[in-house]
Structure 1
Amino acid sequence: MAPAAADESICGFNVGGDILAKYTSLDRDKGVLGCPVAGELPNPDGVGRRQEFKGGTIYWKASTGAHPVWGAIGDKWGELDWEAGPLGYPVDDELTNLDGVGKGQQFEGGIMAWHPSYGAHPVWGQIGRLWNRYGKFASRFGYPVTDERRDDTLNGYRQTFSVRNTDLFWSAGMGEGAEVCAGECVGYVLSAGERWVDSVSVKFALPNGDARHIEVSVKPTQTGYDQASTDYDSLWQQVWNVVPGPLPLDGTQLSQTQLDSMRDQLACHAKWDFELFGEHLSHDTWDLESWRSHKGEDYATSTLALLQTCNWD
């Protein structure tokens, strides 16, 4: 039995130990859990214990303590095989987020997020780490609106979030020629909705996701293809209007030289991405790579840069 407090009979069932202590902190039968509907039971793992109440169930394990699971978060957790699934045991109580609308609960294996507009969805693994790095619920990604799902084109998984219909993704590696994602990487693709910028994808090479290995891929609108070369400053601003910061995952920042280089690359693509035989030279995206040297706008818009396909050393 979960230790701590002596058993008490409540609504005809004994409640004791840490489960009783947590139940008491939630106002017992007068609180959200209501009366117990069964006695305390061991979990199938032989480690933890649980007790069911009208309003939910309190789960206990020595290393995580006693925490209630209820409502839509509890239902989704159950679909994922409760404590035996990838989320494991709850390590905290359900909390109301700062927006006053959504809820979140931390489990051993990740966070279960709930919002009345999107339902309950788990966020875990490398996608969860990326989401957490950008501020979780308060980030410019917002709430998850889907579960994580397999994407064979990525050789990994992606998950959609509420702000700008953003997809966060993880890849085990897409092989040579994929630059940042040749090996394991994470990133996101978000809808921009700018006049010249349709969407932006940001990729980080793992394990560190440091400033030496970042790629920002810009998908222009048709107007962008036609007009972006008329004002490189405005184009640059439209890209960074939608990209959440800070960028690198290791706590560093992109240097001014790296940013200047990426602006050069953007100008080069915008200048030279004309249509040939029904297809743009860029093959849909303008890729800005943090490891390219800064050469200046005059070089970036020269025919020499065109011959290097805007990918100079």
Structure 2
Amino acid sequence: MVAALFTGASPAAADETICGHVVRGAILAKYKETGGLERSPLGCPTTPELTTPDGQGAYTHFQGGSIYWSAWTGAHPVWGEIRDSWAGQGWERGKLGYPVGDELRNPDGAGVRQQFEGGTYYWHPTKSNGAHAVGGRIGELWGQWGHEGGKFGYPVTDEYAAVKVGGNLPENTGVRQRFENDRYLLWSPGQASSFETCHSECVGYLGITNEPWVKQTEVFTNLANGKRSVHVTPTEAGFEDADDDLQENWRQVWANTPFLRNATQTEVNSLSKQLLCHAAFAFPKPGGGRFGGPTWDLEAWRSDIPWDAGEALRTQCNWD
């Protein structure tokens, strides 16, 4: 639809004057569906029906929110913190676009969600730190983990651009979004200087561990070939002492980061062997740094890890 052809919300109901403002069409029908003047949380209209700035929809503001309509999404009320966040991102001209459904109660009975063209807003009175939209590749990954009822819980920030996503360098840029319990979901478009798993588009997640030996653990999956890798950032104590107790080191690695979904025993064996190699050979290097680098990069697709000490030192536990 082009702006010149816009004629207002479709005439699903006759026009009515309510609290001094004309409410009409599909917006009026939705208003009545929410309870009308007597029972709707929207209350009185505060504007007549207006054309949206993009010229392709219509809206009416009410005391308790708004109803937005377009020919392809229909009419839907938006209120509360979801409306506030959506307004802050540019209303229908922002990246979320128009609402495509009404607000729904989540299975936990406390939070709510509302789907828009570009993603879905989630809100919880105590867990979400306001209303935040989840969409795109991060939304897909979050859904695979069970949405707000899964390992990551509710979003507590919007998506934001970040460095060192998919790799250790500032040039490794991507997107992060924080969820409950210091866990993050990640997306990278892929870069040659990134971890091998993220040489092309990848998604991942990160848990802030803050254990004695482990600061954080990241997991990445390449979307083209399905390869997975784990990247552990040790503390100074971890570099020094993590080889003393492999079982405890393994526990700390996964203390706040969900383990790989559907991991095979081969992947588990490979990851644990690589972790042992990194912990055992994390010697200081002449001139600074550590053998193996600032992170312990564990590549889940590697099934045959050499145990020759000379080979481990030569490769710094990073096999090509």
TM-score over 0.5 for the alignment? yes
1:1-313 alignment runs, 5 A limit: 1-29=9-37, 30-116=39-125, 118-152=129-163, 153=170, 154-164=172-182, 166-176=183-193, 178-207=195-224, 210=226, 213-245=227-259, 247=261, 253-277=262-286, 278-295=288-305, 299-300=306-307, 302-312=309-319
Q: Deviations over 1:41-90 (max 9, x none)?
A: 23233332212211111111232222111122212211211111110011
C-alpha distance in 1 between matches for 2:224 and 2:27: 40
* Paired residue total: 301
Structure-2 change in CA distance of 1:267 and 1:90 (3 Å): same
Structure-2 change in CA distance of 1:26 and 1:300 (3 Å): farther
Shift of 1:198: 1.9
Shift of 1:147: 2.7
Structure-2 change in CA distance of 1:284 and 1:309 (3 Å): same
Preserved CA contact (<8 Å) 2:200 2:224: no
Shift of 1:107: 0.7
Shift of 1:100: 4.3
Amino acid in structure 1 at the alignment position of 2:52? N
Structure-2 change in CA distance of 1:243 and 1:25 (3 Å): same
Identity in percent: 48
Match of 1:160, SS? strand
C-alpha distance in 2 between matches for 1:151 and 1:234: 31
User: Which stretches in structure 2 are left out of the alignment for 5+ residues?
Assistant: 1-8, 164-169
Q: Give the TM-score taking structure 2 as reference length.
A: 0.83
Match of 1:223, SS? helix
Structure-2 change in CA distance of 1:217 and 1:301 (3 Å): farther
For residue 250 of structure 1, what is the aligned residue in structure 2?
none
C-alpha distance in 1 between matches for 2:194 and 2:49: 57
Deviates more, 1:18-27 or 1:116-125: 116-125
Preserved CA contact (<8 Å) 1:260 1:294: no
Structure-2 change in CA distance of 1:20 and 1:245 (3 Å): farther
Deviates more, 1:123-132 or 1:259-268: 123-132
C-alpha distance in 2 between matches for 1:104 and 1:246: 27
Preserved CA contact (<8 Å) 1:195 1:223: yes
Shift of 1:8: 3.4
User: Which stretches in structure 1 are left out of the alignment for 5+ residues?
Assistant: 248-252
C-alpha distance in 1 between matches for 2:115 and 2:108: 17
Amino acid in structure 2 at the alignment position of 1:191? I
Q: Deviations over 1:194-233 (max 9, x none)?
A: 343221011122246x2xx111001123332233223323
Shift of 1:177: 5.8
Amino acid in structure 2 at the alignment position of 1:134? W
Q: Give the TM-score taking structure 1 as reference length.
A: 0.85
Deviates more, 1:230-239 or 1:253-262: 230-239
Deviates more, 1:54-63 or 1:301-310: 301-310
Deviates more, 1:79-88 or 1:32-41: 32-41
Amino acid in structure 1 at the alignment position of 2:241? Q
Amino acid in structure 2 at the alignment position of 1:135? G
Preserved CA contact (<8 Å) 1:272 1:301: no
Deviates more, 1:64-73 or 1:218-227: 218-227
Shift of 1:116: 4.5
Preserved CA contact (<8 Å) 1:268 1:301: no
Q: Deviations over 1:76-110 (max 9, x none)?
A: 21121111111001112223434444432211101
